[in-house]
A = this chain, B = another copy of it.
Amino acid sequence: MDLNPDKAFSIEFQPSGLRLILDEPTTLLDAARQAGVMLRADCGGKGICGKCRIQLFSDLVDYPPSLTEESHLDHASIDAGFRLACETIAHKNIKVFIPTDSIIEGQVLQVDGRLRELNIEPSVRRISVSLQPADLKDLRSDLARIKIFLDRDDLSADLNVLRIIPRILRQNQWSADLMVLDQKIIAASAPAKEKTAGLAVDVGSTKVACYLMDLESGKLLAARGTPNPQIAYGEDIMARIAFALQSEQNAKKLQTMLFDAINRTSQTLAREAGIESTQIADVCLVGNTAMHHLFLHLPVDPLAVSPFVPAFNEVLYPKADELGITAMPGCGVYTPPVIAGFVGSDHLAFLLAEGFGEDQRTRLGIDIGTNTEIALQKGVEIVSVSTASGPAFEGAHIRFGMRAAPGAIEHVTLDNNGFAEIQVIGNQEPIGICGSGILDAVAEMRRIGMLNSRGRIVKEFMGVCLDGNGKPYIQLSQGSQPVILSQNDVDQILLAKGAIRAGIDVLMDHLKVHPEEIEEVVIAGAFGTFMLPEHAMRIGMLPELPLDKVHAAGNAAGAGARMMLISKSARARAENLAKQIRYLELTVYPEFPMFYAKGIQS
């Protein structure tokens, strides 16, 4: 890019110190993206979410606040130089400070998850061969020689491998290491006693969890989560699909970011484990349907408009290098089936990891997110729904909402007057509140009667404050920037939990299950780990059940992906499970509106 030196100006981002030179007016959000600063923009830069708060160090006269900024920021903040990056246009040298809570990083990433006992039987195995050299009395082809040595007449080989096998054999006294996937030789190399590794990946909208596994022992070599960098183009999937649909280039960009994140993380993991990325001989990848489609370069437009049907829901096993994943040449990427437009292979992996379909217990599996996927098993039937719960439990649409990151209030108790006692991640000054804290706050408000049956904050409590318009809120922390929870925030939570409860109720109605018949509820994800089940029941998100029936599954989708990576029978089970799971579309279920209305109130 040739800059016009007469118009060039610089933007410096603090505290990272990243600098960018531009020659035309640009919003600070776009500039941050170009500079690689991971600035939050949950709404995708539309001026709605107010999360891209930054502080200007410059003459503020040049940056009068917009109406949007005035609606998101108080006067004191505006005077102190706070603006929204999406609303602020840089046109000359400027220094910008990014507050911690505007940065996408340092989230508490949970890469664990229960891994059930299973036999180590990877699809890809390293096999060493040491052949009799060809001579005029033994003119079998190289491949025939390998088949006879291994006594496997079923073997075939990728064309790319056939192209290199003759040279490898002849340069290594007729020995070689072969990587064999089922009946196919997918890679060949000079003999070496190297570890054979596999990579399991759970691509979430928010984070990408990567697990490097030893394919021979089935042991975890290293694991790491990284934020999904696509988040810079919108917190929710629809914003990203909309971005992808604007141009082929945009779609490509989202894909490239994702591959870069996976490759970067897997390289870090390989380094930690003391191996090379090229020792990765197999990959298993799960994700929601949009991530799955973006990952496989499948068109996402059918996912953007009703009726939201996926292109297909089969297993695919493309080559890693065709997709852009760094691994051993010939390595495949096993992608198990998605279930529906809003029920992905991560849901399948979750249910696999939790043993759905293996017994006939009556149980619920819930993965809470912007879309919450819920499965109900009864006997041999498993029915799944996706409910648009919104991102409230992930901190979005909540004024002080944030992800489970340092500075987030994760637990709240209220005394009888409604004054809060809080627990903050990282034991630091609170800067916001995350899902489990929000759940606590609302449940506690309900417990002490501060929330009436219609979901209104009862103003008579001492702990309730009123804003300039007489609207009630509660203050969760003290100091110059107290974290507060307003009537509007409470409304968001009630809508979210109502959507989840309606999904559960529809499933119970559809399969004729009574709450007391439910033998287990498993809740996936960080929210499931940190939330208090009694609070989820108190606000009516879950039906009333004995507490010991509710279990957190951690990153169960990741656990399922790891199982499929190291075990062929887990893959077979997942493929059967995918056929067993029936998707139910809530919006056409006649009683859904009734359940939803009830869910919001209860």
Complex: A354 Cα to B139 Cα, angstroms: 26
6 closest Cβ pairs, A-B complex: A143-B312, A134-B309, A136-B307, A141-B310, A141-B313, A141-B312
B163 pairs with A299, CB closer than 8 A: yes
A135 pairs with B307, CB closer than 8 A: yes
A588 pairs with B312, CB closer than 8 A: no
- Known contacts A162-B298, A302-B170; is A313 also within 8 Å of B143 by CB? yes
A301: Cβ under 8 A from any B Cβ: yes
Tell me, rounded to whole Å, the shortest Cβ–Cβ distance linking A161 to chain B.
Answer: 10
Contact among B139, B296, B309 with A583 in the assembled complex (CB-CB below 8 Å): B139
Instruction: Tell me the A304-328 residues at the B interface (CB within 8 Å).
Output: 306-314, 316, 318
B residues in contact with A299, CB < 8 Å: 163-164, 166-167
B residues in contact with A318, CB < 8 Å: 159
Complex: A84 Cα to B143 Cα, angstroms: 45
Complex: A294 Cα to B297 Cα, angstroms: 32
B residues in contact with A136, CB < 8 Å: 306-307, 585, 587-588
B residues in contact with A167, CB < 8 Å: 299, 301
Contact among B156, B316, B585, B588 with A314 in the assembled complex (CB-CB below 8 Å): B156
B residues in contact with A311, CB < 8 Å: 141-143, 162-163, 165-166
A39: Cβ under 8 A from any B Cβ: no
Contact among B137, B156, B296, B302 with A166 in the assembled complex (CB-CB below 8 Å): B302
Instruction: Tell me the A121-170 residues at the B interface (CB within 8 Å).
Output: 134-144, 156-157, 159, 162-167, 170
A581: Cβ under 8 A from any B Cβ: no
Nearest chain B residue, comparing its CB with the CB of A155:
B314
Tell me, rounded to whole Å, the shortest Cβ–Cβ distance linking A196 to chain B.
Answer: 24
Nearest chain B residue, comparing its CB with the CB of A335:
B159
B residues in contact with A142, CB < 8 Å: 302, 309-312
User: Would you give 26 A-B contacts (Cβ < 8 Å), ordered by A?
Assistant: A136-B307, A136-B587, A137-B585, A137-B588, A139-B307, A139-B309, A139-B340, A141-B309, A141-B312, A141-B313, A142-B310, A142-B312, A143-B314, A144-B312, A144-B313, A156-B314, A159-B318, A162-B296, A162-B298, A162-B316, A163-B298, A163-B299, A166-B299, A166-B301, A166-B302, A170-B302
A341: Cβ under 8 A from any B Cβ: yes
Tell me, rounded to whole Å, the shortest Cβ–Cβ distance linking A339 to chain B.
Answer: 10
How many residues of A are in contact with the other chain, CB < 8 A?
44
Instruction: Tell me the A369-409 residues at the B interface (CB within 8 Å).
Output: none
Complex: A296 Cα to B301 Cα, angstroms: 38
Copies of chain A in the complex? 2
Tell me, rounded to whole Å, the shortest Cβ–Cβ distance linking A234 to chain B.
Answer: 22
A316 pairs with B141, CB closer than 8 A: no
Tell me, rounded to whole Å, the shortest Cβ–Cβ distance linking A562 to chain B.
Answer: 24
Tell me, rounded to whole Å, the shortest Cβ–Cβ distance linking A245 to chain B.
Answer: 12
13 additional A-B pairs beyond A139-B585, A170-B302, beta carbons within 8 Å, are A134-B307, A136-B587, A139-B308, A139-B340, A141-B310, A143-B312, A144-B312, A144-B313, A157-B312, A163-B299, A163-B311, A167-B299, A167-B301
B residues in contact with A306, CB < 8 Å: 136
A312 pairs with B162, CB closer than 8 A: yes
B residues in contact with A341, CB < 8 Å: 139
B296 pairs with A159, CB closer than 8 A: yes
Instruction: Tell me the A547-602 residues at the B interface (CB within 8 Å).
Output: 583, 585, 587-588
B residues in contact with A162, CB < 8 Å: 296, 298, 311-312, 316
Tell me, rounded to whole Å, the shortest Cβ–Cβ distance linking A22 to chain B.
Answer: 36
B residues in contact with A166, CB < 8 Å: 298-299, 301-302, 311
B residues in contact with A309, CB < 8 Å: 134, 139-142
Nearest chain B residue, comparing its CB with the CB of A169:
B302
Tell me, rounded to whole Å, the shortest Cβ–Cβ distance linking A337 to chain B.
Answer: 9
Complex: A396 Cα to B396 Cα, angstroms: 83
Complex: A443 Cα to B37 Cα, angstroms: 88
Nearest chain B residue, comparing its CB with the CB of A323:
B159
B residues in contact with A134, CB < 8 Å: 302, 307, 309
Complex: A301 Cα to B167 Cα, angstroms: 9
Tell me, rounded to whole Å, the shortest Cβ–Cβ distance linking A312 to chain B.
Answer: 4
B residues in contact with A140, CB < 8 Å: 309
Nearest chain B residue, comparing its CB with the CB of A583:
B139
Complex: A312 Cα to B341 Cα, angstroms: 44
Complex: A186 Cα to B296 Cα, angstroms: 17
Nearest chain B residue, comparing its CB with the CB of A322:
B159
- Known contacts A137-B588, A307-B139, A585-B136; is A163 also within 8 Å of B312 by CB? no
Complex: A142 Cα to B307 Cα, angstroms: 12
Pick from A159, A170, A302, A587 the residue with the most CB of B within 10 Å. Answer: A159
B residues in contact with A340, CB < 8 Å: 139
